[in-house]
Amino acid sequence: MVLRHFLQFSDFGTEEHQWLFQRAAEIKRKFKNYEKYHPLADRTLAMIFEKASTRTRVSFEAGMYQLGGSVVHLTTGDSQLGRAEPIEDSAKVISRMVDLVMIRTYGQDKIEKFAEHSRVPVINGLTNEFHPCQILADIFTYIEHRGSIQGRVVAWVGDGNNMANTWLQAAELLGFTVHLSTPTGYEVDQAIAGIRSGDSYKVFRDPMEACRGADLVTTDVWTSMGFEAENEERRKAFADWRVDTDMMKVARPDALFMHCLPAHRGEEVEAEVIDGPQSVVWDEAENRMHVQKALMEYLLLGKVAG
Ligand code: CP
Ligand code: NVA
């Protein structure tokens, strides 16, 4: 098989994403019915974390075991990664012993360099620039609740961060529109987001206007991992970018609310919204595991039936 990586959402084409959503549904169905499914028996996933995680760790680890494989968990602190062993060397060594690697790190350049020297597929488990596994889960969740996302409007309220960049890549590939509202100084940079044109998003100064008529309203923390030194400054800049019940009222009546989690109630989202009837955040979190199982299966076995 040709070696493929999933370092950003646009590494896969539209039809491949549709395949993953379909497989995720089938793999989830098996899981819910306690059907044993071990296509990755004897395969090993190495998970490398340079930043904290709850969902990514549990979903990849549980997912790999459920597919019959096993995992190795590494962090910067407990490996030579934290003692300046070159990325190229780490990639060459680790990828000789495992079948698949998932990395959560800082710059996208680091994961790209790792992939360049890896013998096995590499998956982005979050970088400063992108969070493609999360957007896979979010869109799969949207499809489960509302059907195809094509032609829909997704309102992004908050930071022009890794999640926002990835939403934009997904919009280009899957044919929906993102309404972006970020405070001044925290806009999305189209070049960093890696999108071809400005056709799939619209920028709004007022977050309320971004939410008007939206099918999905979504946000994320004001301060992402790695940017903690800017916390106080960001609290002030983002004060008007809190998703509240008024924003949800101007969205479509059947609009969903999503948040990749972890969330800070009272900061980027009101408790009434995230804990309210339109919120699907727990489905989003669970679906991380199902879509990633489909992703691991696809990277290692291609399009399988069963
Ligand atoms: N949403 C997400 O990636 O969560 P963790 O940081 O807990 O992995
Ligand atoms: N944007 C957040 C997402 C956490 C899952 C971060 O990068 O910290």
pLDDT digits (tens), the chain, 306 positions: 899 999 999 999 999 999 999 999 999 999 999 999 999 999 999 999 999 999 999 999 999 999 999 999 999 999 998 999 999 999 999 999 999 999 999 999 999 999 999 999 999 999 999 999 999 999 999 999 999 999 999 999 999 999 999 999 999 999 999 999 999 999 999 999 999 999 999 999 999 999 999 999 999 999 999 999 999 999 999 999 999 999 999 999 999 999 999 999 999 999 999 999 999 999 999 999 999 999 999 999 999 987
Domains along the sequence of the chain with CATH:
9-131+287-301 (3.40.50.1370), 134-284 (3.40.50.1370)
Tell me if 72 sits within 8 A of 96, measured CB to CB: no
Ligand 1 environment, Cβ below 6 A: 53-56, 126, 134, 260-261
DSSP 215-270: SEEEE--SS-TT-GGGHHHHHHHTTT--B-HHHHHHS-TT-EEEE-S---BTTTB-
- On whether the CB atoms of residues 137 and 157 are closer than 8 A, the answer is no
Ligand 1 atom with the shortest distance to the CA of 225:
6
Residues found in the chain: 306
Q: Which residues of 239-256 are buried (b: 16+ CB within 10 A; e: fewer)?
A: eebbbeeebbebbbeebb
Which tokens in the block code for residue 164? 């926002």
Cα of 262 from ligand 1 centre, angstroms? 7
Considering 133, 220, 234, 259, which one is annotated as catalytic? 220
pTM value is 0.98
Which is catalytic among the residues 104, 152, 234, 290? 104
Q: Assign 151 to helix, strand or coil.
A: coil
Ligand having the closest approach to the CA of 158: 2
d(CA 166, CA 131): 6
Ligand 2 midpoint to CA 225 (Å): 6
Residue 71 DSSP class: E
- State the pLDDT at residue 1: 81
Report how far residue 197's alpha carbon sits from residue 266's, in angstroms, rounded to the nearest whole number.
Answer: 35
User: Facing residues of 46 across strands?
Assistant: 72, 101
C-alpha 239 to ligand 2 mean position (Å)? 18
